[in-house]
Structure 1
Amino acid sequence: MQDDVLYPHLTVKETLMYAAILRLPKNLSKQEMVNRALEVIHELGLERCQNTIIGGPFLRGVSGGERKRVCMGQEILIDPSLLFLDEPTSGLDSSTALRIVHIMKKISQVGRTVVTTIHQPSSRIYHMFDKLILLSEGQLLYYGKASHAMNYFSSIGFSPQIAMNPADFLLDLASGNVVDMSTPIQLLGQCADYNGARGLHSIDVGSKKNHSNSLQPKYVNQYLSRAYKDMLSKNDALQDEDMGVRTISPYSDTARTSWKASGWKNKSDREWSSTWWCQFCVLYMRGFRERRHEYMSWLRIFQVLASAFIIGCLWWQSNFRTERHLIDQVGLLFFIATFWGFFPLFTALFTFPLERAILAKERACDMYRLSSYFMARTLGDIPLDFCLPLFFHIIVYFMAHLRPSISAFFLTFFTILLSTTASQGMGIAIGALMMDLKKATTLASIVLLTFMLSGGFFVQSIPSFIAWIRYISYNYHTFRLLATVQYGHGSQYFNCDTSTGCQKVEEASIFHNISLEGGGTEVLVLLSMIIGYRLIAYVALRRMSLAI
């Protein structure tokens, strides 16, 4: 919990309610799950901000302490017997940190064990802990009652020479910094022997205070670790009468046996607290609430509508009376195929890289199946992605005076939707494969450039050794489908004002390598791309490491 991994646009109440529905047992009713979320809000003192969004670096929301409490709330929803917290007070002021630890203390007093890492706690915070584990470079230096730690280190020769916060004293020891503290003569003697063996000037053992400042941290850490192991080696299960703590050595066979018998379940044996359909519905609704601001933002709407208006003005009341006019109108169709080939792609490209931390955290907690998350995340974007293409299509189609037919109007819109969904799938796949925005953007730019150049408009005669590339370009299939809808079926003519008589549109030079018949093949290819790209993305998510 060192980083507060939360959706920034959900409120505190929404965040905990969705977590409750996903994590609580399926035999509870929805109202009972909601009530449990409200209980946690009350327990953590979040009533005042329950309807405030979480917020982020550039989005105003709850305070840092409240955000920490929301993260804690997600875990105590299921009433765990053991709660791990990684630096819950990092980045907080002393007052807020004290409030967080007070809450942790309350949680521990109702039958839960709370294990937390903490750096630089105040003396008031330190004395609230029951037990303490002090580690240095993976070595155990102390485990026992927090109130007895100072006595233990004093018994082995380490004690502060000035008034000092116990936590500061212990952290100095863990880092090997023994300034302003007494050190055991045995440690100074060992360092003197070591330096003498190397031909260095030996330490004057009599001047401990002066030479304690020059001790290297590794010698201090080795001495402390060895001293603790020596104490534990006296018996495997030590009943320390001075500390009143029964300590089991982490290096003993007893500890290793207990770890093996701890009852961890294999991932294949996990039991989900909710059904696949319930997970899908909750994740779908949560995703819709989180991303509604993106799709309904005025900037995004303005971007599409302004582009449509400019395009409509440039191709105002276009026609194909002559071949030059026909080429202009075909250029419009190719631009539509290109625009709805890159716009959704770069929107979808950020889907999984930006949500990787949340996905890793929630999957580590077994909140839901990956398949339910993936389906909710990908299908949830499709209805929102249909709105902007519709606005764009209505404006451009009538301003540019494309084929005046109801069937052509709806078939053109259907083609745009296929292109939008296919390019969105490509963006999802690249993002899931790379999981790095810089790499994903670079790869997407190369792919888009290749698809655009091989789309059938810029290059009519592609060399045979690379001609296959057009068939994997959704721009090419979208362009062919748009041209077929506008000019296919042999009923369109141009150059009727010339002495040679009218010519069929499919006989124009621009269509020499593009068939205007059929269209079913292009639809099937685009549908295959829509499904195929998403399967690639799902497999990539299954295979990747979700470590934060």
Structure 2
Amino acid sequence: MDNQEVSMDVEAQIENNDDDRTLPFSVFKKANLPITLRFENVVYTVKVKEQKSWPWETKGKTQERSILKGLTGIVKPGEILAMLGPSGSGKTSLLTALGGRVSEGKGKLTGSISYNNKPFSKGVKRATGFVTQDDALYPHLTVTETLVYTALLRLPNSFKKHEKIKQAEAVVTELGLERCKNTIIGGPFLRGVSGGERKRVSIGQEILINPSLLFLDEPTSGLDSTTAQRIVSILWQLAHGGRTVVTTIHQPSSRLFYMFDKILLLSEGNPVYFGLGSNAMDYFASVGYSPSVERINPSDFLLDIANGVGSDESQRPEDLKAALVVAYKTNLLESVINAVKEQDDHSNQSIEKHGDSKHFGDWPTTWWQQFCVLSKRGLKQRRHDSFSGLKIGQVFIVSLLCGLLWWKTNLYHLQDQIGLLFFMSSFWGFFPLFQQIFTFPQERKMLEKERSSGMYRLSSYFMSRVIGDLPMELILPTIFLTITYWMAGLNPKAVKFFLTLLVLLVHVLVSGGLGLALGALVMDQKSATTLGSVLMLTFLLAGGYYVRHVPVFISWIQYVSIGYYTYKLLILGQYTENEWYPCGENGKLKCHVGDFEGIKHIGFHSGFSSSVALAVMLVGYRVVAYIALMRIGKTKSG
């Protein structure tokens, strides 16, 4: 099938979609601002640590590794550039660089990348859509909800709310997602939409803003040939609406190969071909490399030679790769450089002026709008986890078990009562810690994706996340204490109950804050869980219940222990220093609670300083988490 036949097929598909043109928004309409993308001599190097030669070495040697080695090219509005190459050839690195998403501190990027002859800027960022390979989507949201929330966040306030919703619904229709619009996205262990539908949802999120530039990383990965063709047909239509489309693709079928306007073939970071897809086979034949069989998928042949596998089996792969690089520099590089330097009709159009006309300030929506939308989206996504039957059942069982074990204890069993108070501080230290420690590691991909696209402020996301988790954090411990407190026979005065509840809720929030901070700092679930366990066990041991005579050189631990301050306040909330309790043989004597061995070393002083310490931790841990998150989605290009 030649390029002309493929074009006719796509035109026929566009004609079949004419009925959708009555919608208020069309994803296939003309781009607001055509953008010409140029890149010249792009080099990207990263520092790689070598493995330690000996176990006792503190650090491995660091060396620089070149990922991209002098890439040059141009993509104009209406064109699709497909970047091909073996795994590890630098396709995704180049796509990330062209999309302005190279993370700070991860490598050194040199060369020139321009958009209508201007460097990357906020205006370019607003006009760019970037579809990642892994489809970062919330599993419990439906297709329509996913696109509606994206529209509410990304479309500027020049659109009214109902207009944003209509645009999202139009995207659902035009991308052929009506059949699954009310189906949840799903995940590895949650049944939802198919792989092709997930990919179309990811593309829909980006084209909602009618981008002038669209970058896609492996959009057909893991899809069958029919679904892959449907995805590429959508890209073809988008490009022919005046957009500049750049995509990486691993091994397209011959049918897909001829739908791409330009091909960039990479081999170990080196360019070995740049030009029209229809001319690729003729070029390699002209430099002495032809397929061994007549009928072959062009992409299969290109990937073979990029891997150093040619028809001459005696030629070493390294020699073939080096020969291809030399042939490119000799035969193609000069014409590519000349094409990059040529002026076109869009070279001097102002991107910043276009961006400012569509947005207010640096963000498409206000802080409060972002907070409200993110809060609603977060509650819909997390309600299944926060109030799952498993978690509620766990709390009910533990509270009932505690109530039965400590059934109707009183001051005759003072040691048992303070044991219950310490258990409450321990259980409600670990439980919220491990609920919150996974928060940011689980949402890292989503946060990186949305922050890189400039969807919302970090502060609005963080506050919506913290406040949105309050129902789960506060309701479950309230249920626990309400059941256990009265079954265990603790002080029946209402003021004592509410004071104990207040201390417990603050303790839960502080422990949850520690979990947020650890998760944000480490950003790895396994490592964060291990670190959290060690810290909480340390706080537990220094909490004042197990060890009463702590050596001076390690006694400082109790002053950073959440459990220590909580345990002290729980005791202060239950008893007074001069309160009597039965003591001696058979409880015939009366003693002061303040003289009880298990309470004496805790003391009835410093209640205010303990409250202040918890308040400082309550705020401090969340500040640490916020600062740690500031590095997420931060790029060199803006």
Using the size of structure 2 for normalisation, the TM-score is 0.74
Query: Aligned in 2, Cα 1:399/1:236: closer, same or farther, shift over 3 Å?
Result: closer
Provide the residue aligned with 1:221 in structure 2.
321
Q: Quick one: which of 481, 504, 508 aligns to 1:393?
A: 481
Query: Aligned in 2, Cα 1:489/1:518: closer, same or farther, shift over 3 Å?
Result: farther
Secondary structure of the residue aligned to 1:151 is helix
CA displacement at 1:26 relative to structure 2? 2.1
Query: Aligned in 2, Cα 1:158/1:413: closer, same or farther, shift over 3 Å?
Result: same
1:436 aligns with 2:513: no
1:520 aligns with 2:612: no
- What are structure 1's unaligned runs of at least 5 residues? 180-211, 239-246
Q: Is the 8 A contact 1:484 1:518 kept in 2?
A: no
**CA-to-aligned-CA distance 1:391-443 (integer Å, 9 cap, x gap):** 10111011101101111111111111011000001111111111112221121
Secondary structure of the residue aligned to 2:469 is helix
Q: Is the 8 A contact 1:133 1:143 kept in 2?
A: yes
Provide the residue aligned with 1:362 in structure 2.
450
Larger RCO (CA within 8 A; separation ≥ 6):
2
1:409 aligns with 2:501: no
Q: Is the 8 A contact 2:214 2:244 kept in 1?
A: yes
1:105 aligns with 2:196: no
How far apart in 2 are the matches of 1:498 and 1:171? 88
Aligned pair count? 495
Q: Is the 8 A contact 2:579 2:594 kept in 1?
A: no
Secondary structure of the residue aligned to 1:366 is coil
How far apart in 2 are the matches of 1:522 and 1:297? 34
Query: Aligned in 2, Cα 1:403/1:431: closer, same or farther, shift over 3 Å?
Result: same
Q: Quick one: which of 385, 388, 392 aligns to 1:294?
A: 385
CA displacement at 1:248 relative to structure 2? 3.1
Provide the residue aligned with 2:56 in structure 1.
none
CA displacement at 1:469 relative to structure 2? 1.4
How far apart in 2 are the matches of 1:233 and 1:128? 24
Aligned-partner residue type, residue 317 of structure 1: K
Aligned-partner residue type, residue 193 of structure 2: V
How far apart in 1 are the matches of 2:205 and 2:446? 13
In the TM superposition, what are the counterparts of 1:425-504 in structure 2 within 5 Å? 425-488=513-576, 490-495=578-583, 501-504=589-592
1:28 aligns with 2:159: yes
Q: Quick one: which of 367, 371, 375 aligns to 1:276?
A: 367
How far apart in 1 are the matches of 2:201 and 2:576? 59
Provide the residue aligned with 2:290 in structure 1.
159
CA displacement at 1:518 relative to structure 2? 6.5
Aligned-partner residue type, residue 329 of structure 2: K
Using the size of structure 1 for normalisation, the TM-score is 0.85
**CA-to-aligned-CA distance 1:152-187 (integer Å, 9 cap, x gap):** 2222222223111122122222222113xxxxxxxx
How far apart in 2 are the matches of 1:440 and 1:347? 12
RMSD of the alignment, in Å? 2.5
Q: Is the 8 A contact 1:356 1:546 kept in 2?
A: no
**CA-to-aligned-CA distance 1:230-260 (integer Å, 9 cap, x gap):** 234656765xxxxxxxx338xx9x99xx99x
Query: Aligned in 2, Cα 1:90/1:219: closer, same or farther, shift over 3 Å?
Result: same
1:248 aligns with 2:340: yes
Q: Quick one: which of 283, 287, 309 aligns to 2:400?
A: 309
Aligned-partner residue type, residue 138 of structure 1: G
CA displacement at 1:307 relative to structure 2? 0.5
**CA-to-aligned-CA distance 1:127-150 (integer Å, 9 cap, x gap):** 222222222222222222212222
Aligned-partner residue type, residue 307 of structure 1: V
**CA-to-aligned-CA distance 1:299-348 (integer Å, 9 cap, x gap):** 11111100011111100010112xxx111111011101111111100111
CA displacement at 1:6 relative to structure 2? 1.0
Query: Aligned in 2, Cα 1:237/1:459: closer, same or farther, shift over 3 Å?
Result: closer
Comparing 325-334 with 113-122, greater Cα deviation is found at 113-122
1:90 aligns with 2:212: no
Q: Quick one: which of 367, 371, 374 aligns to 2:459?
A: 371
Q: Is the 8 A contact 1:334 1:457 kept in 2?
A: yes
Comparing 85-94 with 515-524, greater Cα deviation is found at 515-524
Secondary structure of the residue aligned to 2:246 is strand
In the TM superposition, what are the counterparts of 1:121-136 in structure 2 within 5 Å? 121-136=252-267
In the TM superposition, what are the counterparts of 1:338-353 in structure 2 within 5 Å? 338-353=426-441
How far apart in 2 are the matches of 1:499 and 1:480? 25
Aligned-partner residue type, residue 411 of structure 1: L
Query: Aligned in 2, Cα 1:80/1:58: closer, same or farther, shift over 3 Å?
Result: same
Whichever structure has more helix as a proportion of its residues is 1
Q: Quick one: which of 132, 137, 143 aligns to 2:274?
A: 143
Query: Aligned in 2, Cα 1:458/1:158: closer, same or farther, shift over 3 Å?
Result: same
